Every structure is written in C-alpha cells, then in structure tokens.
Amino acid sequence: MKIVQSEALFKHNGEDVFLFTLRNNAGVEVCISNLGAIIQSYKVPNRTGNLLDIVLGFDTMEHYLSSEYLNNKSYLGAIVGRYANRVGQSSMVIDGKIYQLSPNIPPHQIHGGFEGFDTKVWHVENSDQLSAGKLRMSCLSKDAEEGYPGNLEVSICFSLNDENELIIDTEAITDQATAINLTHHDYFNLNGSGRIDDHWVQIPSRFYLGQYPDNLANGKTLSVYGTKYDFTSLRQINKDWDPDSGYDQSFVLDKDYGAYGMAASAYSEKSGIKLEVFTDEPTVHFYTGIHLGNTNARNGQFYEPFSGFCFETQHHCNAINIPEFPSTLLRPGQVYRHKTSYCVSIQ
C-alpha cells in the first residue's frame, strides 16, 4: 500500500500542514493530517458498495483551528494528551511534588489542557518512505507545558492493511517522571450522517468506572450487570440510555492487563458496516457526543449531540490521582507504548 502526501495546505506555528491518504485494495481510504495526527476522513464501502465517510470531520484542515471549533472542545479525530479525559482539580503529585495543571474545564483539566497534542503540528518522520505503507510522525511536549513535568517525546504510526485494519501505534519517552495517558479521539457514525443512537454496540466489560456528577472518575469500580452500562452482549445504544445525556463512561476491559484484545464493536443495520476496536489498553471510554455542536462540518453538516460516538482506548481516567488504579507514571528510561486498531467489515 502506498501513502499519498498532499502539497502543503498552510502553515501553523511556522510548520507546514499536510494531508496523507492511505488506501488499500478493498477500497478503504483514510486521510490523516500531521495537524493533531487528525483522522480527517475514513471512507468505507457500505453493503451496496457506496463509499461512506464513517468519521466526523471538516472539509478543510483550517477549520480545525477555528476559535468556534476549539472552544467547543470536540477533538474531532485527533490524538489527545498528555493526559486523556479529566485530571481531578487539575493537579497531581509525583514523588512528593505537587504539579498544578492548566484547568481548561475548571476546576479540572481535560485532554491535555488549552493547547494539547490535538493542535500541534507533528513532524513527519518518514516522508521519503511512504511507499512502505506506514505514516510515522512525532512531536515534543516541552517541560512545564500545560503544567506537566519533563520533556516528552511522542511518536505515532498509522498503517492500513488489506484486511481493512487501521493500526495506530504510539510510543513516548521522557527525561523526567511525568504522567501520560494518550488516546485517539475519533467520532464514528457508521451511517455517514444523522444520529447514532440506533447503532448496535458491544463492549466486553463486566465493570465500569464510577464518576462524580461532573464525570470525574471517583476511584470506584462498579458492576455493569443490571445497569444501563451492560454491553456484554450486543444492544442498541438507545435501549436503556438517558436520552438527555447519552453515555460518557469508562469500561474496564475483560482481558489481562497489557494484553492486546477486543475493546468494543459497533454495527449499523442501515449501512451494514461493522467496526471492531482492538487495544492493549485496560479501558475504553464510550462517549456518544452530548457536547457536540459543530457548524459547517463535512458537506455543510451540523454536528449536533449524538451525531457520533467515540471508543477512547486508554488507561483508567484520573489514575494519576487514584493509587488503586494502574499507574500512568512514566519515568526516564521507560517507554510508553499503546496500540489500538480499527477493523471494518460488512455484515
């Protein structure tokens, strides 16, 4: 598979922004930018052979930097970090020292702060080797950025194979002890447009993470059985949900810590498209987009609440402040690794 690089689209912070197109022999096409490592487009043939774009996004990359979009905090298709989801009270303690982070949703921080990884222009590491079918890019998060200690070097690699599997491999190293919890924040709609509450979803998880009313993880691990969070068997999103809020919840996956396995699946009866998500992370955060409100989106669409859903593979939310959760601390000499893949098929 060959990857096609666009001409430079524009400059952001003095760096060129590009789009890269990955296409396999089955007709799947994924467009990825070095701005925020954003998956801008993900086109898949439906059961009649027509291409549907199954991720939410904008027609132009410039729109991802508009003040209206950034103020909405949607993170459409981007990598988020240094820390996915909420860090309680925008603070953490590492080796006895308190670090105050930037509170972009006061009093907490979400998805890395005011200027996280989603707005960085990533450096493409292998532009002369795109014919090998892998797109690798990197960025440096400097010491004290958004309050985090240490210079953190992050790399992300995308590849698409002929089994319709988009693989995302992420690595990071640091020169000081720091907290890290990355995820890719793609919103899916397997119908291509409209609402997603009629999609069928399955999540292999017997336990979900308890939350305070403001969605901050509180350290409790609760059974899904007998609750609206029981997705251990396939069920429609809207079966038992609260139609005013949907889902914004983390699930602990039924697999060994660090093992690579199923995180979630979704299916649309309308399009026939099935999405399967695999990861080596211990949790998946299921979000149905209650806070969406994006105008002038792809093809002039308005992304209202429940226009897309996310399966955010990551470590336990707020784990840096909850000792009982698996550690999200990275020290010098260690390598952070995270692998997630999306696999599409027709049913």
CA-based radius of gyration for the chain: 19
Q: Write out the H or E segment, with its range, that includes residue 21.
A: strand 19-23
38 neighbors 55 (Cβ within 8 angstroms) = no
- HSE (side-chain half, CA atoms, 13 Å) at 340: 24
Q: What is the phi/psi pair of residue 230, to 5°?
A: -85, 95
Active-site residue flag, 62: no
- 343 Cβ contact list (under 8 Å, min separation 6): 163, 164, 165, 166, 275, 276, 277, 278
Amino acid at 85: N
SS3 content of the chain, % helix, strand, coil (to 5): 10, 45, 50
* Calpha distance 247→233 (Å, rounded): 17
23 neighbors 133 (Cβ within 8 angstroms) = no
Q: In sequence order, what DSSP letters do the residues of 93-113 get, joined into one string?
A: EETTEEEEPP-SBTTBEETTS
Nearest alpha carbon to residue 324 among 311, 333, 315? 315
Of 29, 145, 276, 312, the active-site residue reads 312
Q: Write out the H or E segment, with its range, that includes residue 269.
A: none
Of 63, 185, 199, 338, the active-site residue reads 185
Active-site residue flag, 185: yes
Catalytic residues: 185, 312
